[in-house]
Structure formats: structure tokens, C-alpha cells
Amino acid sequence: MTFRRSVRSGTERHRQWELWYERPVIFAGKPMFILTIQKAVRPTIVAIPAAGLIFGFAAQLSGLDFRGDVIWAAATVPVLLVLLTQIVVSLLRGDIGLDIIAALSMLAALTFAEYLAAVVVALMYAGGQYLESYAEARAKREMTTLLARLPRTAVRHRNGKLEEVELDAIEPGDRLLIRQGDVVPTDGTVVEGLAVLDQAALTGESMPVQQRAGDEVMSGSTNVGEAFDILASRRAAESTYAGIVRLVAAAQASKAPMSRLADRFAIVLLAATLVLAGGAWLWSGDAIRAVAVLVVATPCPLILAVPVALVSGLSRAAKHGILIKGGAALETLARIRSLVIDKTGTLTHGRAKIVAINASAGVVPDEVLRFAASLDQASKHIIAQAIVDTARNKGLDLRTPGHIIEMPGEGIEGDVDGRHVIVGGLRYVARQAGISPIRQDRTPGAAVVAVAIDGKLVGVLILADELRSGTERLLSDLRGLGIERIVLATGDRRDVAEAVASGLSFDAVRWELTPDQKSLVVLSERKNGPVMMIGDGVNDAPALAAADLGLAMGARGSAASAEAADVVLLVDQLDRVLPAMQIARRSRFIALESVYAGIGLSVVGMIAAAMGFITPVQGALLQEIIDVAVILNALRSLYDTIDN
């Protein structure tokens, strides 16, 4: 199965968008179209030995012993052929898989006329593969939900009419109609009205969010309210959701270090099995003991436990709005010992907010804000927009300003409600209003905006990028999960960095860092163990890439940081780091638990078989009981509760 669509040829970047859709999605190292074929074949492969087992017993009960053996042997052959084909394909790729043991056990059982054991092994192996398919599908459900929701077309306003267009036709500035039930095809801003959006698939937030005119809308959100229009800010191929889809595909394609560890176990177990089976045969002179050892050694715990547990963890994290780029990142996240964290947009919200309004005597603070915001509507400065947003959130009645004069970087003046208003820096306002220099105590990292009306100072607005609530508790909880050292690394001034770090349990604070210097901080922390870097800006991308594990604030962070990171938070909440680490640690523990328990029980069974205590049929049944228990245990990663 591929995500393919019919599109017209266009520019090279459009062609890249086409190729993204045409590229087969990968899961557990296999293209999805191969998995689809296997999904269709597996029920048949299970049905053949199941039917053969039943008809063989019926023949035996009828006194036709020979025919029963023939039926059992015939029912084993199709499974064996499919298995041998898979082994050949694996060997051509350079992979020595544990399926070889399963094939040897069937061949040995057929060779030494243990036909009942052969068909039982065939049935149990085919059943184990079918159970694996179910477990994989169940584990990756949350991940594939993101892919399945991908929109194919959009409705665009053009020349007074509506037209349905392919996604690659969308350009920044296009006005798009988002109908009820539609998935937003690209990032944009609400033109007018109220947008009610379900972002559960992206962020894990169960309640719909409301966005008003001018608010940003994330691609991939579902419209659960009335139809509304957005103004596209990006091409569809460059949108947030398209990036998420690419990250999901990368996550599904990855192979975890623990899976590679299982491969190394596989070679050891294969060699040990052959030695033990051959030794049992030579020592006892009974070839059936060798068959029993091979049957018991069928290695599903190693084949299934690790990928099922890790993919379950990936799926669980996605449900919480945490996109982990594959099993390798999940396992690394479980072993983190040091944390380097950025300030702006990470520890803080990354957006200036009014934290205080110091109004002159006899002046109402909200009136100071209303006049300042009314005038600042004419400015594109980030501080001006923060003032306007605060006033709108308070429901203040903003008026249209006139006679605007703006000095970039200094301030703005104009008329509001027939009064002359000046808004800007302290020196600018004092100079333009012709008043005495304005004195105001400064807080590190805060911006001070003065407001004058008709030549008189009426108040001062204090804006700051506030620390996220619950930060100290988060740092404490992270230490409880095994993080031994936490370092603040920022490009801000020393006084700003120290003010933010005050009262927080940092082991070190680094300030005025360039992107390269942030990377050096990350590398220097490696002496303490695996390092995680958390950031959100373009300047954080080198450090995110240099860390053992990079975590990006993906909701509002830059595309560069999301691409460089190994983990992306799809919701703008730093506290999601905690469940991410809990899920990673739990998934890794369950994977190892499943492997060690499964292999341990298998080894005990192999020794018992070598000593003649277990027949081939009993060995097959015992091994498959172990396999089912291991898979069910691995699926616990989907359901284990975590602390929120």
C-alpha cells in the first residue's frame, strides 16, 4: 500500500511532494505493500495447517494412519515453503534471522517422520506470525492514524468562485474554505468568524480548540464546527502536518538498537541450538531428541517481543502528542542522564506578555492598555502585536487609529478617539511628548513600553516572556526519573539567564551562546552519560543534532529544530517531556523483560528436550505458549498507566 495520488507535473518542489506521496510507507523495516500482501496471505497460511491437523486426526480415528501422516505432511509444506522464501529474501539482504531454526525444526520433523510435530510447528509458527501481524497493527494504530487522515484536495476561492484543487496547487496567500469535517490541508490564519478544531490526533488534546480571526491554524486539524476560511501561509508540502507525516514514516522505518541486540542474540541462539540438538543426538543416539530441541528453540520471543514493545511505546507516545522518531530514539530516551535546555520558547513561552501596567494617578490601567493597543494595531512590531493581543483577550473596545507616524525600533504615534497617543520606548515617548525623562525600574529580560496621551505620561506597560508554570516541579520529576545533571543554555544576556534560573534547580547556567557554542555545551555534558537537548528555534538545531537525543517544541518551534530533533512535542507544553520519558523507560523495560523471560524459558525447554523429557509435539506446544505470553506482555506498553 502506498500513499499515491494523481497530480500534474510542475516545479521540482512540487515533484518532491509527489514523490513523498508515492514513496511506500515503511513499518518494522518492511514496505507497507509487502506487509499488505503478508496480511492477506497469513490467514490462509494459518488455515492450511489447522485444516490439515483436523483432517489428519479424522483419518487417524478412521484407522487410516498412513493417510493421516500424508495429510499432516502436506499441510506442513506450504508453511515451510513460505518460510524458506522469507529466509532467502532475508539472506539476500544480509540478515541471518531466527526463522532458520523454525525451518530446521519443520524439515527435521518431516525427515524423521514426526508428521504430527511438523504440522503442529507449522500451525503454531503461522499462528505466531498472524499474532505478530495483529500485535503490530494494534501497536501502530495511533501512528497510522496520522497518515490515514492526510487530505488529498482543498477548496480554494478564485475569482469569486470555489474550486477543488490538488494540494500541490496551494500557494501562500490563497484563501481556502474549510468545510465541516474537513482536515485543514496547510498552515494558515483564520480570515473571519470562529474556527472550532479537533486537534486530538496531533496533540492528544481531547477538547476542541477555538480560533478567531487572525489566529494561526495548524494543518492536520479537523474542523468540527461551522465552515470557515483560512489564508494559507505555506505550501502544503511545507506545512506542519506534512512534516509530521514525514517524521511518522521515518519513525516506522527505523530499527532500534535493541532490535539489533536481538539480532546478535539470534546468531548466538542459532549456534547454541544446533550444538545442543547435535549433542543430544550424538549422546543419546536418538534423532527425535534433536528434533524436539529444534522445535522448542523456535525463537518467537526474540523475533516479536522487542519490535512489538517498542512500537507499542511509539504509539502510546503519539497518543499523548509526543512524536518519537523510531525505536532508536525511544531506547535512547530511556537512558538519558543529562539534560541541556534552551530558555526562550522552551523554559519560557517564547512570546512577550504584559505582566504589569503601571498607570499614573487617576488613570484606569485598562484605558492605558486600550489606547496603546488601538494605536499599535498599525504596527507589525512583535511587542506591538503582544499589546494588541492582550487587549483583545480582555475584550477591550479597540478603535481605528489615524495620522500614524512610526519610527521603526523606537515607537509609534497617532490619533485615537480624537486624542494624540504616543507609544514606545521611554526615551522616544519622553522626547516626542516633550516631557521629563521617564524613570522605571527594569527587570532583567523585561521590555518597558511607555504610553503618553495629549503630551502627558499616562502609564508604563511591562512585558516579559514568562516562565512556564510548573517548571520547578518538572525539573524535580525529571531528576526522579534518573536525570543527574540539568544545564540551562541560552543566547540571552547573563542577567536574563540568571533571573530565569533563579529558584530553579539547575546544575549550571550558560549564557550568550552562539549555536556552535550550544553544541559544545551538549558535547561537554556527554561525560556524564547520554545527553538530551530541548529547544525550539533555528539556533537550537545544531545542538539538537549533536545531542544523543534532541527534543523539539514542535507546536510553535521552527521546522529546522523539528527536523534535527529525535522527539517532537506536537503540543506547546514542556511537561509532556515527563510522560515521554516514562513511556520510553517502561517500553524498554517490558522489551527486555519479554526477551529475557522468553529466552530463559526456551533454554530450559531445550535442555529438557535434549534429556528426553519433552517430545517434539510437546515442545511445539510449550514454545507457542511462551510466544503468546511474550507478545501479550509486550503489548502492555500500550496500556500501562503513566503519571501525568
Q: Are the C-beta atoms of residues 389 and 342 closer than 8 Å to each other? A: no
- All 3 cell numbers of residue 14? 512540487
Helices of type H across 286-440 = 287-296, 300-319, 327-333, 365-376, 382-393, 426-433
Q: Are the C-beta atoms of residues 321 and 555 closer than 8 Å to each other? A: no
- Of 569, 636, 641, nearest in space to 138 by CA: 636
The overall longest dimension of the chain from CA atoms, in Å, is 115
At 300, which amino acid appears? C
- Of 201, 240, 237, nearest in space to 218 by CA: 240
Q: Compute how many other C-beta atoms are within 10 angstroms of the C-beta atom of residue 607.
A: 15
Distance separating alpha carbons of residues 208 and 196, to the nearest angstrom: 6
Which residues does 353 contact at the CB level (< 8 Å), separation at least 6? 386, 390, 463, 464, 465, 466
Handedness of CA 229, 230, 236, 240 (dihedral sign): negative
Cell 525623562 belongs to 437
Distance separating alpha carbons of residues 536 and 522, to the nearest angstrom: 15
342 counts as catalytic: yes
Please pick, among 182, 342, 376, 572, the residue that the annotation labels catalytic.
Answer: 342
Which parts of 440-546 are beta strand (E)?
447-453, 456-464, 485-489, 508-510, 531-535
Distance separating alpha carbons of residues 246 and 147, to the nearest angstrom: 9
* 3-class secondary structure, 569: strand
Q: Which residues are catalytically annotated?
A: 342
